[in-house]
Amino acid sequence: MSFLADETTLTSAEHPVLAVWVFSADDGRDHRPFRVVPTALWSVENNINLANMDWPEFTSSVGADGVFRGF
């Protein structure tokens, strides 16, 4: 996974960082990119790296605008 700061990150009021799955996505699961507010970024990074949660758990928890703000 990678976290990217782009124009939206730098110009939006909440500064949502783009989270992108960069590993092989041949398993049929949902690996679409999503945005995450900086205060919730630790949750994505820690839980994915510790294998506590999977990427689809975050992609299914984004708001209508595609931004994850926490659980």
pLDDT digits (tens, 9 = 90+) for 16-32: 999 999 887 677 777 89
> Which tokens sit at 5?
């700061």
Rg (CA), the chain: 12
Of 10, 8, 5, nearest in space to 20 by CA: 5
Side-chain half-sphere exposure of 36, counting CA atoms within 13 A: 24
The pTM of this model reads 0.89
Residue 52 pLDDT? 94
Residue 23 pLDDT? 80
Calculate the average pLDDT of the chain. Answer: 93
Q: What is the domain partition of the chain in residue ranges? A: 2-24+32-68
Average pLDDT on 5-26 reads 92
Instruction: Tell me how far apart the alpha carbons of residues 58 and 17 are, in angstroms, rounded to a whole number.
Output: 14
